A and B are shown apart, each in its own frame.
Chain A
Amino acid sequence: MLKFDHVSKRYQDAGDALIDVSFHLQKGEMAFLTGHSGAGKSTLLKLIAMMELCSRGHVLLDGQNLSKVREKQIPFIRRKLGLIFQDNKLLHDRTIFDNVALPLVISGYGQQQIAGRVRAALDKVGLLQKEKKYPLALSSGEQQRVGIARAVVNKPQLILADEPTGNLDPELSAEVMRLFEKFQNVGVTVLIASHDIDLLKQMGHRVLTLENGKLKTSAS
C-alpha cells in the first residue's frame, strides 16, 4: 500500500530531514511512527500527502510513484488519503455536518449520498447528535473525532494521523486509538505519528522509530 524506497529529504535552509528511509506498509496494516520532535515524523507524512516532494528515492502509494505525479493530479492523490491533524484543521464557520461533508462535496457526490455517508461517519465516531453544532461548541476530544470523521468519510485507502492525541488526556487518547483500530479492522491502512511511547506500547502495533532523520527500527 505504502512503500518508501531509499527516501531522503533535504530542506535548503534546514538541512537533512530524512536520510535514506525505506519501509513498506501492507494493505490493512496499522503502524506508529515515533521519534523525538524534529526527527522527521512530520516530513515523512508530508511526503505522503504531497505537501512536499522527496529529494531522493521514491515514495510509492498504491503502486503509484509520487515523484512522477503532476501538480494537477495532486488533489486526486489526496482523495485517496484520510488526513488527521493535531490541530484538527476544522472550519469554524461551518457546522460539524458541513465540515465532515467537505471531502465528499469536493469529490462531487450528490446530496443524498453526502447526507448518508456523513451521518455514517459521525455515527462511527459517536457524534451523530452534534451534526448541527459548530466546532467551537465541542470539547477538544470531540473536535478531534470530527477530524477523524472527515478523514474517513471518503473511504480512504490510507489514514495518516499527525499527533492525533497530542492535545488529549490519556483516557481520550486511548479512545481515539481504539477508533483507528476499528478502521484497520475493515481493511484500511493506518499510519499514526505520535511520541506517546507508553500508549504505543499498550497498543502493540508495528512501530517505526525515526532518529535524526534515519529510520532506526522497522520491526513488526
Chain B
Amino acid sequence: MKNKVHSRHQQSNGFLDKSQAYLHIHLHALFSSLGRLSRNPFTSLMTAVVMAIAISLALGFYLLLANMQQLTAGIEANNQISLFLKAGVSDRSGEQLAQQIRKNKQLDKVVLISKKQALKEFKDYSGFGDVLDILETNPLPVVIQILPKNTLDDLQSLEQLLMEFEQLVQVDFSQIDMQWVERLQSIMQIMQRGSILLSGLLGLAVLFITGNTIRLELQNRQDEVQIAKLVGATHSFIQWPFLYTGFWLGFIAGIMACLLVALMIMIIQNPIENLSILYDGSFKLLFLNLTETLVLLAMTSLLGILGAWGVLHYQLQQIKPE
C-alpha cells in the first residue's frame, strides 16, 4: 500500500515536471526567437516593414470602405422625395395637399416649404441672392419634402411611392436622386469584392514573405537543426522557435501597419474635416476600434505562423544530419 502511494506521488510529480518542462521550452522559444530577431535588427525590420506595407494596404482599403459605408448610410436615411408643385398652386393649397399626404402611413415626415421660405433658402445657399433681387415676382414653386419611413429604403418601393405622388394634380414633378444612390451602391459592392480580393492577395504576400524569411533563417541555422536531430529532437521540438519567429514577424508587422494607417489618417484628417463641415459635420473619420485592432493583430500573427509552418513542414524533412 505504502509503495502504491509512493509511486502515484512520483507519477504526479513526473507529470508536473513534464508540463513544467513543456512550458519552459515554449517560453524559451518565444523569447529566444524575439531575441534572435533583435540581434539582426536591420534584417528583421526590413522584413517587418515590407509585411507592414502589405497589411496596411489591405487595412487602408478596408477603412476607406468602412468610411464610405458610413457616408452612404447617411444618404440612405435621406431618401428624401421632393414634390415641386405647379407654379399656380398657392402656399395655402400646398398646405392642404401636405395635410392630405401626411395621412400616408409609409411616411415619416412631410414638410412644406412655402414660396417665401424657398426663396430665402435659395438666397442663403445658392450665392445668387443679388440676382433674385432683380426679379419682381418669386419664381419658385411650393415644395413638399417627404421623408419615407426607414422600412422603405429599397429602390422599388421608393419608385412606387414616387409614381403615386406624380399622379396628384397639383404636382408639377417629383424628384429623388435614385440613380445616384443606385450607382453608389453598385460601386460599393464592387469595392467590397475588390477589398476581399486585395486582402486575400496581400495576405498571401505576407504568408510568402514570412515563409521566405523563415527559410533563410532555417538555412542559417542548419547546423543547429542537424545537431538537434542527431540528439533525438522531433520536428515539433525543432520547429517551435521558428514558428514563434513567424508569430513575432506577423505581430510586429500588424502593429506597424496600424501605426502606418493611423499616420495616413492623421495626414488626411484636416482636409476631411473641412469637407465634413461643408456637409453639416455629419461625417466622422473612422479608425479601427479595439476589437478590430485585436482581430487584425491576431490575423497577421496567424499569417506569420502559417507562413513559417508551411516552410518548416517541407524544409525540416529535407535537412538530414550528415
Q: A-side interface residues toward B, CB under 8 Å?
A: 49, 51, 72, 75-79, 81, 83, 89-91, 102-103, 105-111, 113, 150, 154
- Known A-B contacts: A51-B230, A77-B232, A108-B21. Give 9 more (CB < 8 A): A49-B230, A49-B321, A81-B232, A91-B224, A102-B228, A106-B234, A106-B237, A108-B22, A109-B21
- Complex CA distance for A56 and B68, rounded to whole angstroms: 71
Q: Contacts A89-B227, A91-B227, A102-B228 hold; do A75 and B233 have CB atoms under 8 A apart? A: yes
Inter-subunit contact B20/A103 (CB<8 Å): no
Residue ID in chain A nearest B16 by CB atoms: A110
Which of B231, B320, B322 is close to A106, meaning CB atoms less than 8 Å apart?
B231
Q: Does B159 contact A (CB under 8 A)?
A: no
- Interface positions of B from 224 to 242, Cβ below 8 Å from A: 224, 226-234, 237
- Complex CA distance for A113 and B10, rounded to whole angstroms: 14
Inter-subunit contact B232/A111 (CB<8 Å): no
Contact with A along B191-229 (1 / 0, CB 8 A): 000000000000000000000000000000001101111
Q: Please report the total number of B residues contacting A with Cβ < 8 Å.
A: 22
- Complex CA distance for A77 and B232, rounded to whole angstroms: 7
Q: B-side interface residues toward A, CB under 8 Å?
A: 17-18, 20-22, 24-25, 223-224, 226-234, 237, 320-322
Inter-subunit contact B20/A102 (CB<8 Å): no
Inter-subunit contact A75/B21 (CB<8 Å): no
Least Cβ–Cβ distance between B3 and chain A, in angstroms: 22
Instruction: Give the chain A neighbours of B17 by CB distance below 8 A.
Output: 109-110, 113
Least Cβ–Cβ distance between A163 and chain B, in angstroms: 14
Inter-subunit contact B20/A111 (CB<8 Å): yes
Instruction: Give the chain A neighbours of B232 by CB distance below 8 A.
Output: 75-79, 81, 103, 106-107, 154
Chain B: interface secondary structure? helix
Residue ID in chain B nearest A151 by CB atoms: B231
- Complex CA distance for A90 and B223, rounded to whole angstroms: 9
Which of A76, A77, A89, A108 is close to B18, meaning CB atoms less than 8 Å apart?
A108
- Complex CA distance for A107 and B20, rounded to whole angstroms: 13
Instruction: Give the chain B neighbours of A113 by CB distance below 8 A.
Output: 17
- Complex CA distance for A49 and B224, rounded to whole angstroms: 17
Least Cβ–Cβ distance between B88 and chain A, in angstroms: 93
Inter-subunit contact A51/B320 (CB<8 Å): yes
- Complex CA distance for A110 and B10, rounded to whole angstroms: 14
Residue ID in chain A nearest B226 by CB atoms: A89
Least Cβ–Cβ distance between B32 and chain A, in angstroms: 10
- Complex CA distance for A91 and B224, rounded to whole angstroms: 7
Which of A77, A107, A111 is close to B24, meaning CB atoms less than 8 Å apart?
A111
Inter-subunit contact A111/B231 (CB<8 Å): no
Inter-subunit contact A150/B231 (CB<8 Å): yes
Least Cβ–Cβ distance between B121 and chain A, in angstroms: 78
Instruction: Give the chain A neighbours of B223 by CB distance below 8 A.
Output: 89, 91
Which of B21, B230, B233, B322 is close to A110, meaning CB atoms less than 8 Å apart?
B21
- Complex CA distance for A107 and B320, rounded to whole angstroms: 20
Residue ID in chain B nearest A78 by CB atoms: B232
Inter-subunit contact B227/A51 (CB<8 Å): no
Instruction: Give the chain B neighbours of A108 by CB distance below 8 A.
Output: 18, 21-22, 25
- Complex CA distance for A150 and B320, rounded to whole angstroms: 20
Of the A-B pairs whose beta carbons lie under 8 Å apart in the complex, a sample of 26, sorted by A's number, is A49-B230, A51-B230, A51-B321, A51-B322, A75-B229, A78-B231, A79-B232, A81-B232, A83-B230, A83-B231, A89-B223, A89-B230, A90-B227, A91-B223, A102-B227, A102-B228, A102-B231, A103-B231, A107-B232, A108-B18, A109-B21, A110-B17, A111-B20, A113-B17, A150-B231, A154-B232
